[in-house]
Structure 1
Amino acid sequence: MAMTSLPSLPLLPLLLFAIAANVALGATIVKTLPGFEGELPFTLETGYVSVDDSELFYYFIESQSNPKEDPIMLWYSGGPGCSAFNGLIFEIGPLAFNITDYEGGVPSLQYYPYSWSKSTSILFVDAPVGTGFSYSKTQAGWYTSDTKSAWQTYQFLRKWLIEHPQYLKLQLFIGVDSYSGISGSIVVQNIVEGNEAGVVPRLNLKGYILGCPRIDATINDNSKLIFSHRIGLVSDDIYEAAKKYCNGSYDDVTTSEPKCYEAIKVYDRLIKDINKYDTLEPKCTWASPNQEEDMSRRALEETSSDDFILSPPKIPDMWCHNFNYAMSYWWANDRSVQEALGVRLGIVDNWERCNKSLQYTLDVSSVLDYHKNLSKMGLQVLVYNGDHDLTIPCTGTQKWVKALNLTIVNDWRPWIVDGQIAGYTIKYSESGYRLTYASVLGAGHSPQEYKRRVCYEMFNRFIHYYPI
């Protein structure tokens, strides 16, 4: 896909001024939100950026420390189709739902002190188009893919920074989790190539952050059996039989390999009732997209009410991790909330936390080669996994990291928060490229939902160049 250069440098200040004036009219500075008592104790801006036929919605939270000097990070969630609201409210942002005192109506919000915005400005974007409050102005615009979404997200970032020139000089990080490890890796490569080609303005890319990322489909899918054996879900005999008859390839097995096929069928039965997002939690109904489901578009339908289970006060004996997900639907679909956020009313009638109906083509199965290329750049990289995640297991992540053939500078060791082991970490370096891998003890998919405070400490150390 060809890149489009901006006007020549002498015209750039006029362009920046003109666009900045427009965004001042279109963006919304949100001072209060329904469900939150008083004014927000941080700066929140929301709005849309036009990219091709798409109108991409964003939430921008300015650093609560030193926004004139602190880094800025683009963040979007996986799925594909999960709203960046996930990151803001459940993972890394300064807000959380009050799930213990809910009595109906608009759910209440409370300030969460261990936010990544303590030291970094965060630009949350609903990407790809069809995610959250993002939408297309044309029928053709709804169709997207890994590569197209990555290109549109890159263009979104460039346009947003042009519209907010005060952040252009700051260090820039790209942050994604889960399936967006695919498109997010391509976004980073797009930035590198744009800078090398002299596209203006130059983006001050410092590094990227990948949480439980999907990077290579084959490595990831084959790692699930290995991980299941390591944590005791599969016996030694069953594992050895699978290794013997499948030759290390456990995905897309057919009856043409009868012994391998039978071994995998046994494995599938063993884990059928395990929660793949966190092997320690009960298996519940998840309001999230299934990567293998038919992804034909359903005109932004709301997820069926059958996808929800009762809130904690009604089922005190069995809490499921997605109880609070239901609150996001009640909150984001409330008209007063949408008015406060500056959402264009009536376009996305039914907001979904994760939209299952994207017309999305999975056109990239591996971005490992992208990372091999990026490892030649002087970038700072953080990769992390929950150690009870069976969706994107840590075994697969560690395998693709090893495939980069980097030099170990700090070997495998525990990292500590509040005097306790928070996980294990290893650090690599090669010609100015530095990659830190960290596991998060007791966490599922995505780790920052399960161990929010611990992941804040991990991020804070990384962003300030302290050892994790």
Structure 2
Amino acid sequence: MKFAFQLLLHFGLLVFVSCYGGYGYDPLQHVLNIQRFRRSVLNRAGNEDRSAEYSTSHVYMGLQDGLKNVDKISSLPGQPAGPDFDQYSGYVTVDPNHGRALFYYFAESPVNSSTNPLVLWLNGGPGCSSFGYGAMMELGPFRVNADNATLSRNKYAWNNVANVLFLESPAGVGFSYSNTSSDYITGDVQTAKDSYTFLVNWLERFPEYKTRDFYIMGESYAGHYVPQLAQLILQNNKITNQTVINLKGIALGNAYVDEETEMTGMFDYLWTHAIISDEIHEGIISNCNFSEGATITDACHDYQNQTIAAISNIFSYDIYSPLCSPLSNSTPSISGFDPCTANYTLAYLNTRVVQQSLHAKPLQWNSCNHPIGIHWKDRPFTVLPVIQDLMANGIRVWIYSGDTDRSVPVTTSRYSINKLQTSVKIPWYPWMYQGEVGGYVVGYENLTFVTVRGAGHFVPSYQPGRALAVFTSFLEGKLPTNH
């Protein structure tokens, strides 16, 4: 109980700092820590087959006629002149009885939009915004400038090669909302169902994309969202009167997919990157069992507390990046990414004229809704069986990892892949970008693993050129080049 109190106190102090950039705050790890304690006292969500929960024979379908034109964005405030692509945003109702609606932002390709694939992007948390992070800080067409009012063009935007759809999910995240407050206590199963309902309704609104090649991508806790939604799509594609979605592949970035490997991989990463001592690491190895159902001993709790103290206030999502804080001059990271970008985005998206241009409900937008994550209802210990099912059904599966992230580090991804027990087809090799190593790649049977050198948790933020190269290779179904 003492450990639990310390964890909750630690979380309570940090919840008020800026998400993703302030004083080492790590939303994912703090949510998982609180839920681990809760699960050790209450019932553990196991790994039983949950397909019956995800599948559904009835999906709400609303009238979508004319809504596409309503959702078209004429121009975003502060947008640079001469946009050469169409963009849309608005709401799709997923439950009219509860008044539950999910917000989306859609950026079409400047070239070949009529033939390029459709990609759905999901951020994690759980409870964090795919629009504020994915679109405005990572892979979208614009970045918010330091004046909080103008935008600059991201020349490495992923809509250069695909039509990219960003979804804020579940309700309560970003601009998404419900008129029924109980909807804000949710979990994996309901999130997958709502995302599916959103998707089939959105395709009615944009019918030209119904037969397009479709991919789902995401990072962090989207390591749950993406494979679960993909599995639900495959199940519902078998229903004769249901929309058939042309799912081709999924890609997971620095993704939380398995709790045991998340923990062992994180502590090994901290030790090998000189953040925790030999003594702490040895204490973790000797006293901690992170397998499902195992008891976490007092000694293990103590060494985890020592780990928290040793980490101190480095930025969890890029261990070599400076923090955004009043005490610093916001020196850019090694990659050139401004660590205060999240603050600029927060200010921009809370401007009334910006919300109007997005067709968004006027509200206090936040990057993450922490109560949603804290009260998350269902979270299987691992989604590796779901990923195996997708692999067996011929779905292209890529896992990529920025190698300077300590929250869901590259070691975690490698340990998770080892659990899949798939054979190597193309051995590990360096892939090249602009004449130097962009990262490393290994081709497995029905799976590809790629690292991105010098990238943190948000790979497209820190290494936008390398990230676009990986994304393009994923869409083409080709491993990144070694020359």
TM over 0.5: yes
RMSD (Å) for aligned C-alpha atoms: 2.6
Amino acid at match of 1:93: G
**Alignment match, 2:76:** 33
Give unmatched runs, 5+ long, in structure 1. Answer: 8-14, 285-308
User: Per-residue deviation at 1:321?
Assistant: 4.9
State the 1:441 CA deviation: 1.1
1:265 deviation in Å? 4.4
Match of 2:23 in 1: none
Once residues 138 and 204 of structure 1 are traced to their aligned partners in structure 2, the CA distance between those partners, rounded to angstroms, is 33
What SS is found at the alignment partner of 2:430?
strand
- For the residue of structure 2 that corresponds to 1:66, the secondary structure is coil
Shift of 1:64: 2.3
The alpha-carbon distance between structure 1 residues 203 and 449, as it changes in their structure 2 partners (threshold 3 A), is same
2:208 corresponding residue in structure 1 = 166
The 3 A distance-change label for structure 1 pair 341 and 242 is: closer
Instruction: Name which of 165, 170, 176 aligns with 2:218.
Output: 176
* Bigger shift: residues 190-199 or 393-402: 190-199
The answer to whether structure 1 residue 81 and structure 2 residue 81 are counterparts is no
For 1:81 and 1:162, the matched residues in 2 are separated by 27
The equivalent of 1:282 in structure 2 is 322
* CA distance, structure 1, for counterparts of residue 340 and residue 277 of structure 2: 33
The equivalent of 1:340 in structure 2 is: 357
* Partner of residue 391, structure 2: 375
Matched residue SS, 2:223: helix
| 1:34 to partner: Cα distance | 0.7
Q: Structure 1 residue 45: deviation in Å?
A: 0.8
- Which residue in 2 is equivalent to 1:90? 137
CA distance in 2, matches of 1:316, 1:83: 23
Residue of 140, 158, 166 corresponding to 1:116: 158
- State the 1:317 CA deviation: 5.5
| Mapping 1:351-362, distance limit 5 Å | 351-358=365-372, 360-362=375-377
Give the equivalent residue in structure 2 for 1:4.
57
Instruction: Kindly state the Cα deviation for residue 398 of structure 1 after the two structures are TM-superposed.
Output: 1.1
Structure 2 CA distance for partners of 1:363 and 1:5, relative to 1, 3 Å: closer
Match of 1:395, SS?
helix
Matched-pair contact (CA < 8 Å) for 1:222–1:249: no
Task: Report the counterpart of residue 48 of structure 1 in structure 2.
Answer: 91
1:424-450 residue CA offsets vs partner (Å, 9 max, x unmatched): 111112xxxx32111111211122221
Match of 2:19 in 1: none
Q: Which runs of 5+ in 2 are unaligned?
A: 1-52
- In 2, the alpha carbon distance for the partners of 1:279 and 1:55 equals 37
Matched-pair contact (CA < 8 Å) for 2:173–2:368: yes
**Matched residue, 2:341:** 324
Q: Aligned residue pairs: how many?
A: 417
**Match in the other structure for 2:32:** none
Decide whether the 8 Å contact of 2:186 with 2:377 is kept in 1.
no
Once residues 342 and 464 of structure 2 are traced to their aligned partners in structure 1, the CA distance between those partners, rounded to angstroms, is: 16
| 1:73 maps to amino acid | V
Q: Deviations over 1:221-261 (max 9, x none)?
A: 22111111222334445434542344676997332xx4x55
Structure 1 distance, partners of 2:433, 2:197, is: 38
Q: How far, CA to CA, are the matches of 1:39 and 1:57 in structure 2?
A: 26
Structure-1 residue corresponding to 2:254: 212
Q: Does residue 114 of structure 2 align to residue 68 of structure 1?
A: yes
Alignment partners' CA distance in 1, 2:71 and 2:281: 55
- After superposition, where does 1:53-452 map in structure 2 within 5 Å? 53=98, 54-85=100-131, 86-99=133-146, 102=147, 106-236=148-278, 238-246=280-288, 253-255=296-298, 258=299, 260=300, 262-283=302-323, 309-310=325-326, 315=329, 321-345=338-362, 349-358=363-372, 360-364=375-379, 365-429=381-445, 434-452=446-464
Distance 1:24 1:462, change over 3 A: closer
Q: Which amino acid aligns with 1:74?
A: L
Judged with a 3 Å threshold, the aligned counterparts in structure 2 of structure 1 residues 20 and 467 are, in CA distance, closer, same or farther, namely: same
One-letter amino acid of the counterpart of residue 403, structure 1: K
**Scaled by the length of structure 1, what TM-score is found?**
0.82
TM-aligned CA deviation for residue 165 of structure 1: 1.4
Classify 1:283/1:427 alpha carbon distance in 2 versus 1 (closer, same or farther; 3 Å).
same
CA distance change for structure 1 residues 160 and 269 in 2, over 3 Å: closer, same or farther? same
1:24–1:249: structure 2 CA closer, same or farther, 3 Å change rule? closer
Structure 1 CA distance for aligned equivalents of residues 302 and 178 of structure 2: 46
- Stretch of structure 1 that moved more, 360-369 or 411-420: 360-369
Given that residues 330 and 338 in structure 2 are in contact (C-alpha distance below 8 angstroms), is that contact kept between their aligned partners in structure 1? no
After TM superposition, give the deviation of residue 6 of structure 1 in Å: 6.6
Alignment of 1:458 onto 2:470: yes
Q: 1:110 to 1:263 in 2, by over 3 A?
A: closer
Give the structure 1 partner of residue 479 of structure 2: 467
Q: How does 1:11-30 map to 2 (within 5 A)?
A: 19-24=63-68, 27-30=70-73
Counterpart position of 1:10: none
Contact 2:214 2:245 in 1 (8 A): yes
Q: Judge conservation of contact 2:322–2:330 (CA < 8 Å) in 1.
A: no
